[in-house]
Amino acid sequence: MSILIADSGSTKTDWVLLDGQTVVLKHQTIGFNPYFQSSETIFNELKNVLLPVLQIELNTITSIYYYGAGCSNEDKKNVVAQGLGLAFPNIKVEVNHDLLAAARALCGKEKGIACILGTGSNSCLYNGIEVVENVPSVGYLFGDHGSGATIGKAFIQHYFDGKLPQHLVVEFEKAGFHRELILEHVYKKPLPSKYLASMSSFITNFANDTFIKDLITHCFIDFFEAQVSKYTNARELPVNSVGSIGFYYKEFLELAANKQGFKLGNVIKSPIDGLIKYHS
């Protein structure tokens, strides 16, 4: 008997079929978000892309554990659950928020603070079983402290305000960026937060630059102040992080944590390996 685990963001979903402690297969589909996709849309994608690779093992699956972006209330969870139910009739389905995925992947069955630091950001206090406190994340315009979008926005703000060191201005414009292009992407094209976060691919080339170090560290300090500091006994617990921004900028994340009096715990890029360990 086996279980199917899914870790879904808005871009992609990682699927793992697990038999005991053995990974039988891994597969990837598009990401799902019940705020933007219907149960039928989810079902059609699963029918066309996932079910064909599971045909041999389909009868062995007893449970599905799905963790996804947008699954923050019962209505949205039901949208996903119905889509899964159409694709996998008579199989037990459990749908949870991606914050619980982060907590289980990072903390296992131990108490701690779990953070998501990717394109956006979020965090929670986890008691080893469930999320017990959550400081709401309110998106890249009003929140998402420490995220890729916020770091990108801060960098661009300095560029527009003439506060970016000249050598970085030269390299930035040499890479093809300029005022009109940036404004068009942010104000006229879809998914501006992803565009802002994409600045990280440029910024990371100058991670040893003092200005960039200070900028990233300050963004993480804001994250600790606005999010992490508000949890009960926060400075007595390890602060763990999942996501590409926390992973690739771990040095600055740890520096910010130390400056704010927090202890950094596990820092991983993706939750899927931690979820495999949790469910084994």
DSSP 197-224: HTTHHHHGGGTTSHHHHHHHHHHHHHHH
Q: What was the pLDDT predicted at 262? A: 97
Distance CA 155, CA 135 (A): 25
Cβ proximity of 159 and 215 under 8 Å: no
Closest CA to 242 of 72, 104, 125, 137: 104
DSSP alpha helix (H) spans, 108-209: 139-142, 148-160, 166-174, 179-187, 192-197, 200-203
- Assigned token pair, 260: 């704010």
Measured in residues, the chain has a length of 280
**Enclosing H/E stretch for 109:** none
Query: At 63, is the secondary structure helix, strand, or coil?
Result: strand
The alpha carbon of residue 153 and the mean position of all alpha carbons in its chain are separated, in whole angstroms, by 18
Which region, left, alpha or beta, applies to residue 21 given φ > 0 means left and ψ of -120 to 50 means alpha? Answer: alpha
Domains of the chain: 2-90 (3.30.420.40), 106-269 (3.30.420.40)
pTM of the predicted model as reported, rounded to 2 decimal places: 0.84
Binned average pLDDT, 10 residues per bin, the chain of 280 residues: 88 88 90 88 94 88 92 92 94 93 94 92 94 85 86 96 96 94 91 88 93 96 95 96 94 96 94 89
Q: What is the pLDDT of residue 191?
A: 80
